[in-house]
Amino acid sequence: MCPECRGLIDRNATTCPLCGTRVRRPRARRSNEEINRIAGVIPIPGTATSTLIAVNIALFGISWYLSQAAADATAGPALGFGNLDPQVLVRLGAKSGRDIILYGQWWRLVTAMFLHAGIFHIGMNLWCLFDLGPMVESLFTSAKFIVMYLVTGIAGFLLSLWYRPGVASIGASGAILGLVGVLIGVSFHHGGLGKAYRGQLWRWVIYIFIFGLFFAVDNAAHLGGLVTGFLLGYLVPEGEPETRESEVVWSTLAVISVLIIAGSFALMALQLNQPLR
């Protein structure tokens, strides 16, 4: 795709035949069909997607362990993988309007993205991340993917904080709906093929929001992530950055995103043993 006029051109072209703009051949971009798949079906995650999956699984293991320890301390029944201790999840960084607004714990907007309430919750989210992550990472590069994932996840919890400040919520689904939004946004630049793919994505969005009407799902976080992702997918150019300057910008933004995530967990760890307010 020509970065200037957005026209579809030959992949090996060095000049756009439509507007005359010089284009650089993409270095590491793959289409959805070219994504490596296990047994031809399961997409193999890229580096950033694999790291996010690993962090989510690690936080789930920590949450489960601390939930068991809390149950043992109170002589309560042991908790299975189905439901974890809500108080433990709040300590580990759930989106809590009271703590964010009154005590300035804005890092919860980040840590909440990596926490899940049970095995079904994390299973559904990681299944979606496992499927959508490689597509977005392949289309936009790992650096852009990391930034998009963080921004859409935070945007989702910001809308949730405005709409339901008194309700604590967790989960990667806001960021995952953000990835859906990214794919919907970028599909507008791919003509008839994009229109057909967009129809499939919209059906998934409708199913998810209907599901949220009947279960304890934070649809506000879903909507915030979806809309933000759509804007990013529509506005951010696909593939490798076209200039050295833009490459530096995206690399810097990716590093900042990683530091924000690491710093948020560091702030969470500092207050982990403090009594809940």
Name the 3-class secondary structure at 168. Answer: coil
Which residues, in sequence order, are CB contacts of 6 under 8 Å at separation 6+? 189
Active site residue 173: yes
Q: Is 169 a catalytic residue?
A: no
Q: How many CB atoms lie within 10 A of CB 234?
A: 15
Helix (H) or strand (E) holding 268: helix 244-270
- Contact yes or no for 155/218 (Cβ under 8 A): no
Residue 195 CB neighbour total at 10 angstroms: 11
In the set 173, 187, 257, 264, the catalytic residue is 173
22: β partners: 15
Residues 187 and 169: their CA atoms lie apart, in Å, by 30
| Residue 275, C-beta contacts closer than 8 angstroms, at least 6 positions apart | none
The tokens for 34 are 């070219």
Instruction: Report in angstroms the alpha-carbon separations of 96 from 34, 90, 246.
Output: 41, 7, 36
Gap between the Cα atoms of 246 and 237, Å rounded: 11
Distance CA 87, CA 265 (A): 17
**Residue among 96, 222, 257, 264 flagged as catalytic:** 222
Cβ 153 vs Cβ 172: under 8 Å = yes
Active site residues: 173, 222
